[in-house]
Amino acid sequence: MLNTKEYFKQLDATLTVIDDEVAATCSGGRIYFGGSDPDVILFEDKNFGGAALRINATNGAGDDNLDNAAFGSGWNNRTSSIKVIRGEWQLFRDGNFKGPVSVRRKGNYKTPRAFGQADNALTGIRRIG
Ligand SMILES: [Ca+2]
Ligand SMILES: [Ca+2]
């Protein structure tokens, strides 16, 4: 049995997690790389082969594109398959959320055609839901 102080401490921790999730969605889901519990994983090759880039949405300091050297160096125009683990994501051919866009939810997309972009073309990605 928790005392009142402990109860509110746990409750507060829960609310903080929810707030982050909602904020990530509402802010357009800026992204960061390398988290141990990724929302999305990009793969260099089709069928989830080659190098992988783990992506999470964040309401903190993040990035918009894969062509920013500070975060996604080496991942512009490289993706050939994608796993979406949670959330709803927009995928863009170009930077600054431009170019043809596709939207994908949870699923394994083993070819560029499956995730709705040309091969080795993905530049922008953001969480919208
Ligand atoms: Ca590739
Ligand atoms: Ca591109």
Backbone angles phi, psi at 23, to 5 degrees: -65, -40
- Beta-carbon neighbours within 5 Å of ion ligand 2: 77, 93, 121, 123
- Of the listed ranges 4-18, 27-41, 49-63, 78-92, the least confidently predicted one is 4-18
* Domain range summary for the chain, segments of one domain joined by +: 4-127
pTM, two decimal places: 0.76
Cα of 58 vs centre of ligand 2, distance in Å, is 22
Residue 17 class from Cβ within 10 Å (0-12 exposed, 13-18 middle, 19+ buried)? exposed
* Closest-approaching ligand to the CA atom of 95: 2
pLDDT tens-digit series, residues 74-107:
889 999 999 999 999 999 999 888 999 999 999 9
Contact 9, 105 (CB under 8 A): no
Cα of 23 vs centre of ligand 2, distance in Å, is 27
d(CA 34, CA 127): 16
Cα of 113 vs centre of ligand 2, distance in Å, is 15
Query: For domain 4-127, is the CATH number 2.90.10.10?
Result: no
Cα of 101 vs centre of ligand 1, distance in Å, is 18
